[in-house]
Homo-oligomer: A and B are copies of this chain.
Amino acid sequence: MLNETYRAMLGRKSVIRETFMYGRQRAAQIGAENVFDYSLGNPSVPCPGQFTRAMEQLLAEGDPVDLHGYCPSQGDPGFRAAVAAHLAEKFGLAYRAEDIFPTTGAAGAIAHAIRAVTKPGDEVLTFAPYFPEYGPYVEGTGAYLKVVPPQAPAFQPNLDEFERMLTPAVSCVLINTPNNPTGVVYSEATLTRLAEILAEKSREYGHVIYLVSDEPYRDIVFDGKKAPYPAAYYPHTLTCFSYSKSLSLPGERLGYVAVCPGCEGEEILVDMMSQISRFTGHNCPPSIIQRAVALCQGVTSDLSVYETNMNLLYDALTAYGFEVERPGGTFYIFPKALEADANAFCRKAREFDLLLVPSDTFGVEGYVRLAYCIETEKVKRSLPALEQLAAAYRK
C-alpha cells in the first residue's frame, strides 16, 4: 500500500524545475550559450578558497575516527561556538554556542524551527510572494500555512492585513528577508512595526507568537548596505540560515537555527529540535562540513557579480518599459509581466529563449521572477532578447 498523499504529488510538477528542464532540451537544440535561463537559484560563483583549504587541512591533519565520527545530537560544538561568536559580533546580540542548532540547509532549519513552535492544527502566517517550499515544510508539521496578500509595487509586507490575520490560532510567523522572489529587503520601519504587532498580539492572546526568519540571502545585499536583522527587533525569533548562497555550497546542505538570546524557551529549544530530528530520521548535518565551515565564519564567496547583474537587468528592464522594484539584495528580480497572465507571458518569453518563472508559483499573479545568478556576459547578451520581448507587447 503506497502512501497516496506522496504518490499524488508526483503529478504536480514544479514550474521552476519544468522550466529548467525545458531549458536543457532547448540548449541541446540551439546551444546552451543561446538559452537565457533565469529559472534556477543555483549559485554561479565558486566557494571561497578558505573552504576548500579548510576541508583539505581537516582531511590531512584530522584523526579520521574523530573527524568522521558521530556528532552530538545538538551538532558539532566547534561549529556552534563559531557561529554564535560570529552572530554576536555582527549583530551585537549575546548568542551562545547553546543557541545554535546546525541543520541541513535552510530547509532543515525551517522544518525544525516550525515543528518546535507549532502543534498540529495551528496556523503559520507568511507574506506573499513566498518561496513555494514553505508549503510542504509547514504541511509536514501538521500546521496550516496562511498567506498575507502581497503589497505591490514595493513588496514590503502588508502589515495592516497581517494584523487582521494574526488570530489566536497563529503560533508562528515565517518571513524571508532579503526576499525570494522579489529581491526586496525588509526595511527597519517594517521590522519595527512587525515586532510591535507581534508583541501586542502576544500580550493580548497570552502566549508568545514566534518569528521564524528565513535568511539565506543575508550576505547578498547591494549598495554597501546591510539587511536589518529581524531578531534584533523581536527577541522571540528563530533565525534560519544556510551557507548555500553565502559560501556557494548548496549541495553540502549546511545551515542552522539560531535561537535569539532572550527568546521564550531559549534554554530548551535547541534540545527540542535535536529531538525533532529523530522523528524525521535526520540527525545532524555532516561532520566534516560543519568543521570546515566553522573555519569560514565571516567569509563569503565573491558575491559582487550578483550586484553587477542586478544593475544591468534593472536598468534594462526599466528602459524597456517594465514596472519593477529595484532589488536591495538576493539574486532575484521580480518585474510585472506585460500581460495579466504571467504564464502566458512566460510562454511568450520562451520565443526569445528567455526562461522566466511565472509568479503564480510564489502566490502572486502577474509577475515573473528572474534568477540572475548566471554569468554577467550572458546577462548582457540576454538584454536584446528582453528588449524584443517588450517590443512584442508594444505592437
Give, as a whole number of angstroms, the nearest-CB distance from A4 to chain B: 7
- Taking a contact as CB atoms under 8 Å apart, the answer to whether B64 and A52 are in contact is yes
| B-contacting residues, A264-284, CB 8 Å | 264-265, 268-269, 271-272, 275-276, 278-284
With known contacts A2-B269, A118-B3, A272-B10, A279–B56 Cβ distance under 8 A: no
Give, as a whole number of angstroms, the nearest-CB distance from A42 to chain B: 6
With known contacts A115-B6, A282-B107, A64–B46 Cβ distance under 8 A: yes
- Taking a contact as CB atoms under 8 Å apart, the answer to whether B253 and A284 are in contact is yes
Contacting chain B: which of A67-75, A85-93, A191-199? A67-75
- Taking a contact as CB atoms under 8 Å apart, the answer to whether A248 and B68 are in contact is yes
- Residue-wise, chain A 46-85 has the 8 Å CB interface mask toward B (1 for contact) of 1100001001100110011101111100000000000000
Residues of B within 8 A of A313 (CB): none
Contacting chain B: which of A133-141, A145-153, A176-184, A314-322? A133-141
Tell yes or no: A288 within 8 A of B by CB.
Answer: yes
List the number of copies, as a whole number: 2
Give the total of A residues in contact with B, Cβ under 8 Å. 78
Give, as a whole number of angstroms, the nearest-CB distance from A129 to chain B: 19
Tell yes or no: A44 within 8 A of B by CB.
Answer: yes
- Taking a contact as CB atoms under 8 Å apart, the answer to whether A207 and B1 are in contact is yes
| B-contacting residues, A1-51, CB 8 Å | 1-7, 9-10, 42-47
The residue from B69, B249, B253, B268 contacting A285, defined by CB atoms under 8 A apart? B253
Residues of B within 8 A of A171 (CB): 1
